[in-house]
Structure 1
Amino acid sequence: MPILLIFQLLLLFWEAFFGSLSSKDSPNSFQSESPNLVFILADQWRAQEMGYAGNSQILTPNLDSLASQSLIFENSIATLPVCAPWRASFLTGQYPLTHGIFYNDKPLPNEALTLGEIYQAAGYKTGYIGKWHLNGHQKGEDPFSGRDKPVPADRRQGFEYWKVREVTHNYNNSFYFDEKNEKHFWQGYDVFPQTDSAISFISKNKSKPFALVLSYGPPHDPYFSAPEQFKKLYGASKLQLRPNVPEEFQDSARKVLAGYYAHAAAIDHAVGKLLRSLDSLGVSDNTLVVFTSEHGDMLMSKGVLKKQRPWDESIKVPLLIRYPEKLGESSRRLRNPIGTPDLLPTILGLSGINIPVSVEGEDFSKELLAGEELSSEAALIMLPVPFHEWQFSNGGREYRGIRTARYTYVKDLQGPWLLYDNQTDPFQLRNLVNNPQYMGLQKELEAVLQAKLDERKDGFLPADDYMTQWHYLYDRTDSIRPVDYLSRNRFP
């Protein structure tokens, strides 16, 4: 273990139990009023599919109620919109090219300093329930082989209470491994027993500070496996689609959307039960509740499904933060963007815990506590290596970009690729890149993007360079490029 990491952990433990070296009133001192943390994570739930976001056809009454008491982040951006990279950036507060998880099923290094370890060092009881997706697989094994194996104790990154499976999307026949690596099955649709487990953890630890991550699998596909009572809520033929769904895909899009909504309604039902338990246990006021998702889902917008792509359906995710004791009980909307690496430092700031030097994201807690707008100009988005459903042969490409409160600007290895004014064109139907009328704006956004890349020391290299640097192998056919990879139409 590197000496710097050892020093950081020792310092965190010292401050948790003895106070800061510089002040006896350090917020890291163990105090009974230290806020609890309940972090609720969905998988592939895009920001647009919420009642509080203006969608009248999806039924999310419990999340809408939570939003009425929360900070609502209107531009919460998945820095790298795919599963494992998002999780690694959330838990470490680092960008993907720092922690090295820019590709699914690669192992997060043991040396990474994570949320679980930081809260544990600050005197918290820590727990993790549900999907993990950071243990990866060994070289030479099938790329998905690690998804059914237990995560070794030394790979759990500071989480003590443990009911986890690396990855599954079979929500009705789902198992997990406990602290002793013993295998158990969730009964029925796994969202519901996972929520019950979370409530049990909270009940047993309500007299001490606790930090819990509850990680659901849905509404990630398969889209048609939610319980029947929630499927019955939605008739596919009646659903309205986003205007950027091509006509030839609209029938299938409605069917997919109905199944997706059923999963979302089931999660909303579970979240309601969890929130009511916080009230009944008397810990709501001093509990920091966060609800978000790893990334979105195109859901046939622009004729495609799932994530990785730089469009809003893929990169924008819901983000709610409720903390009645310090943030009040009324809703407030924030328009400026927040990126994935910013979540950990902001949550630590709200918890009164010092932020380790390894964290690269921005701490926005002061603005939130002061009732101010975020000080961010833009959130970085990236895809160093396209893979799996958006591999090279399926149109995938390396990109870097920014999402501001108003604009999206993205370039690929050939140069500027996408430019949208999301205020006048919210469905991103008109690509303005290299349009002479917008060259001034494009140059401004290019300067902002380049400054962020310079700050990250990101040279924006081809995918193969990063795979070689991290000694990774492509999965199956992910590395195969079409012959016209660099010359095909770049402006869909």
Structure 2
Amino acid sequence: MTNVVVFLTDQQRYDTMGLHGNPLDLTPNLDRFAAEGTFCPTAFTNQPVCAPARAMIQTGRYPTETGVYRNGIPLPADAVTLAHRFTGAGYDTAYVGKWHLAGTDDRPVPPESRGGYGHWLAADVVEFLSDAYDSRLYDGDGTLHRLPGYRSDTYVDAAIDYLARPHERPFLLFVSLIEPHHQNTRDDYPAPDGYRERYEGRWVPPDLAALGGSTHQHLGGYWGMVKRVDEGFGRLLDALHSTGLRDDTVVCHATDHGCHFKTRNDEYKRSAHDASIRIPLAFGGPGFAGGGRHDGLVSLVDLAPTLLAAAGLDHADLPGHPVQAGPGPAEVYVQISESQVGRAIRTARWTYAVRAPNADGWADPCAGTYVETELYDLAADPYQLTNLAGYESHRALADTLRARLLARMAAAGEPAATIEPAPARPSGQLRVDSGEPR
């Protein structure tokens, strides 16, 4: 039977990868892993904030289905997770790192709130419990451990320790880092000593160069954190190789959402822009080695079906589409909370987003009325700098995208809603094709 390892980072932009054009050589291990396995260049989160994205990864269901539509809502006790499914198939399960699905903050996560995982060295909201050089996690008995070293390294060390143990049964190992997420207690990106200095004042992605935000304050530290995370990922792959597990283990490298450095709202994510929703994603191991590029759209709702299919386990009840099955839906569906009650679809060419003007992003999971807020043409405007919402030239296109978004909302079990057009704007000489949007 096939082992499965998930390596989840937090708040990692897609263009941190060399394969996505980053010139700083931040991710040589991930780039090599993706090139030798199956790389998903157009991958997205369906909810750009921590807990909802993680609930979706664990259950394979949209946040409004699990009820975890924002941070601070525990995963329901009856939610069926990856751990439950793999345990039922005879697997051992292990979790290391950030959980963020129990609502316990800096207190130990009780066994009934661990999503069915067996081996446990984790904490709920580690950004408030620990710091870059003050790593702390609770074991399965609820005992707090202070782990020496840079925080992401300590999580990788704990995962390697698990891999090095004798295994009589196949296993699912979930390694959940907090890096390169900011340190909430001081709004900083604390790279390892000496790493920030390597990258300050160097390459800036075009969207951040155009829009500013907190980019120049934070980007050097962020790049340094990504570099150290990639070094840890390389050590994890080395451990699989040295223990003889590499050829029998499916490995997934993913993240929960991106980071736009306060350019789209007053913090780092929770928007429909690619900087917030587009993520690095790659698979390796049995069934994925030499798979090349998977050029269809992929999202986090597809992660559970992909891992279950790789292990030969049933996933027919889940809405996602396994990567191994080839191209999936023509658009990715996105739910946005906290900053707004928002919805969006991302196709190969278009981003179409709406917002509920009378809803509270913290209190309301859904709304009855939305208004169009964003429309971007990724072919002409890949960094989403020109908002076309309301342009008369794009009205027919927007109507088609509106119908597709409403269909995705209904398929996710949301109550019936209406979407009002954006205020009309003259478009001059702009014209769009009248055909079906891609």
Q: TM-score range by the shorter chain?
A: 0.7 to 0.9
Q: Which residue of 1 aligns with 2:12?
A: 45
The question of whether the paired residues in 2 share the 8 Å contact of 1:244 and 1:427 is answered with no
The question of whether the paired residues in 1 share the 8 Å contact of 2:264 and 2:271 is answered with: no
1:454 aligns with 2:410: yes
CA contact (8 A) 1:245 1:301 kept: no
Aligned residues of 2:208 and 2:215 also touching (Cα < 8 A): no
Which AA in structure 2 matches 1:315? I
Matches within 5 A, 1:370-449: 374-383=327-336, 385-386=337-338, 396-413=339-356, 414-449=370-405
Match among 275, 278, 288 for residue 237 of structure 2 = 275
CA gap 1:154/1:302 in 2 versus in 1, 3 angstroms: closer
CA distance in 2, matches of 1:460, 1:186: 49
1:154 corresponds to = 112
Q: CA deviation at 1:351?
A: 1.2
Output the CA distance in 2 between the equivalents of 1:299 and 1:128.
29
Return the match for 1:365 from 319, 324, 330: 324
Q: Do 1:172 and 1:188's aligned partners in 2 also have CA atoms closer than 8 Å?
A: yes
**2:111 partner letter:** A
Unaligned runs of 5+ in 2: 357-369, 426-438
Letter in 2 for 1:111: D
Amino acid at match of 2:394: Y
Is the CA contact (8 Å cut-off) linking 2:94 and 2:119 kept in structure 1? yes
Say whether the 8 Å CA contact 2:197–2:220 is kept in structure 1: no
Q: 1:350: which partner in 2?
A: 310
8 Å contact from structure 1 (residues 382, 400) kept in 2: yes
For residue 177 of structure 1, give the secondary structure of its aligned residue in structure 2: strand
Structure 1 residues 224 and 431 mapped into 2: Cα distance closer, same or farther (>3 Å)? closer
The one-character-per-residue Cα deviations of 1:319-372 (angstroms, maximum 9, x if unpaired) are: 11112x3233x3522232222222101210111011263x332334332xxxxx
| Structure 2 CA distance for aligned equivalents of residues 128 and 303 of structure 1 | 33
Q: Displacement of 1:460 after TM fit?
A: 6.6
Name the count of aligned residue pairs.
402
* 1:246 CA displacement: 4.5
Q: Which residue of 1 aligns with 2:58?
A: 91
Shift of 1:105: 1.5
Residues 336 and 404 in structure 1, CA contact (< 8 A), matched pair in contact too? no
Instruction: Give SS of 1:447's match.
Output: helix
Contact in 1 for aligned 2:410/2:416 (Cα 8 Å): no
Amino acid at match of 2:156: T
- Code of the residue aligned with 1:309 in structure 2: it is S
TM-score (norm 2): 0.87
Is 1:291–1:320's contact at 8 Å kept on the other side of the alignment? yes
Cα contact 2:298–2:332 (8 A) shared by 1: yes
Note the C-alpha offset of 1:129.
Answer: 0.2
| Structure 1 position 227 matched with structure 2 position 192 | yes
Displacement, 1:208? 2.9
Give CA-to-partner distance per residue, 1:37-60, whole Å, 9 cap, x none: 110000000112111111102521
Instruction: Indicate the residue corresponding to 2:299 in structure 1.
Output: 339
Residue 237 of structure 1 corresponds to 201
Correspondence for 2:257 among 295, 298, 311: 295
Measured after TM superposition, the shift of residue 410 of structure 1 is 0.8
Distance in 1 of aligned mates of 2:222 and 2:172: 29
The 1:460/1:60 distance shift into structure 2, 3 A limit, reads farther
CA contact (8 A) 1:239 1:258 kept: no
Is the alpha carbon distance of 1:264 and 1:288 closer, same or farther for their aligned partners in structure 2, counting shifts above 3 Å?
A: same
More displaced, 440-449 or 268-277? 440-449
Which amino acid is 1:124 matched to? Y
Aligned counterpart for 1:210 among listed residues 171, 187, 201: 171
Q: 1:382 to 1:272 in 2, by over 3 A?
A: same
Shift of 1:375: 2.5
Q: Determine which of 80, 93, 110 is the counterpart of 2:77.
A: 110
Q: 1:87 to 1:121 in 2, by over 3 A?
A: same
| Residue 266 (structure 1) aligns with | 228
* Alpha-carbon distance in 1 for matches of 2:398, 2:262: 28
Question: Where does the alignment leave 5 or more consecutive residues of structure 1 unmatched?
Answer: 1-33, 137-145, 368-373, 387-395, 463-486
Report the Cα distance in structure 2 between the residues aligned to 1:346 and 1:80, rounded to whole angstroms. 18
Pairwise CA distance, 1:244: 4.9
- Name the SS of the counterpart of 2:13 in structure 1: coil
Does the Cα contact within 8 Å between 1:171 and 1:217 map onto a contact in 2? no
- Equivalent residue letter for 1:179: G
CA contact (8 A) 1:44 1:297 kept: yes
> Sequence identity of aligned pairs in percent?
31
Distance 2:416 2:342 in 1: 8
Q: Contact 2:208 / 2:261 at 8 angstroms: preserved in 1?
A: no
CA drift at 1:78: 1.0
Residue of structure 1 equivalent to 2:363: none
